[in-house]
Amino acid sequence: MKYETVSENRSFGGTQGVYRHKSQTTGTDMTFAVYLPPAAQYGKVPVLWYLSGLTCTHENAMTKAGAQEWASEYGIALIFPDTSPRGEGVANDDAYDLGQGAGFYVDATETPWAPHFKMWHYITHELPELVFNNFQLDRDAQGITGHSMGGHGALTIAMTFPERYKSVSAFAPIANPTESDWGRKQFTAYLGADKSGWSKHDSTILMREKGYPGEVLIDQGASDQFLNLLKPEALAHAMMERRQPGEFRMQEGYDHSYFFVQTFMPDHIRWHAERLA
């Protein structure tokens, strides 16, 4: 699996790289970023996947989350994938929350999205094979996190593949998409009107049905301007009903921005480091 180097920069003693490859899954060029901490010079290191939210590329969290300093300290690699396929010939929509930049971490089955919008398979199969075959990463020590749409992706993927992801957290996840306009719109477009296929992409439903075998960390801004779309209370209730170990923290005064993410990023990287050690 070949890739090309777009850029590499020194960061906190490690290397922040951006790479591009031709994806067989999406049928497009895909760009992703990998941060390797200094410890990667001496052997394989644990991995933390970071899935971004609506409108984002690999670059948003890479430049705004302030994660590299803490990843360097704890000896963890970071992977920042893109949020959707892109390019000429890839379906799109005028709305910011559908189409390019809004893949929702599902495999689309409906026209015109199905040919390229295969983000579930890309994130869980193709990209992992590429990075584990080419970087100093420990396949047996993977964690996953994300923000907003990416928090939705991180939680649903972790609960679907708990044997693979030894730790999971989320920042302001879209917590109950089957009951929100951030979910019903996209699932109808990508997966069709038959709601029977939606539930496996809803973290509240998955929490009720199966939960996660380890602890879960979720941070939510109490002043988030999108609370009615995120529906954090649904996931919190599901965690309580299941008696899911972990923490669900409402952070007073914080909104949905990357100022919120970067504030609590040290806690999340420490959380993953302790569980991936």
| Beta bridge mates, 167 | 143
Cis ω for the linkage preceding 177 (within 30 of 0): no
Secondary structure element (H or E) that encloses residue 196, with its range: none
Query: 111: closest CA among 28, 30, 192?
Result: 192
Order of strands across the sheet that contains 29-36: 4-11, 14-22, 29-36, 77-80, 45-51, 137-146, 165-171, 216-221, 246-251
* Amino acid residing at 166: K
Pairing relationship of beta strands 45-51 and 77-80 according to DSSP bridges: parallel
Contact, 176 vs 156, CB < 8 A? no
Contact, 224 vs 255, CB < 8 A? yes
Distances (CA, A) of 262 to 116, 164, 255, 257, 259: 32, 26, 12, 9, 5
* Amino acid residing at 209: E
Tokens of 207: 């929490």
CA atoms within 13 A on the CB side of 203: 35
Is 23 assigned a catalytic role? no
Q: Please pick, among 147, 152, 201, 256, the residue that the annotation labels catalytic.
A: 256
Is 257 assigned a catalytic role? no
CA dist 161 and 139 (Å) reads 13
For tokens 């199905």, name the residue: 114
Is 148 assigned a catalytic role? yes
Q: Please pick, among 148, 167, 169, 203, the residue that the annotation labels catalytic.
A: 148
CA dist 150 and 105 (Å) reads 8
Q: Among all residues, which ones are annotated catalytic?
A: 148, 224, 256
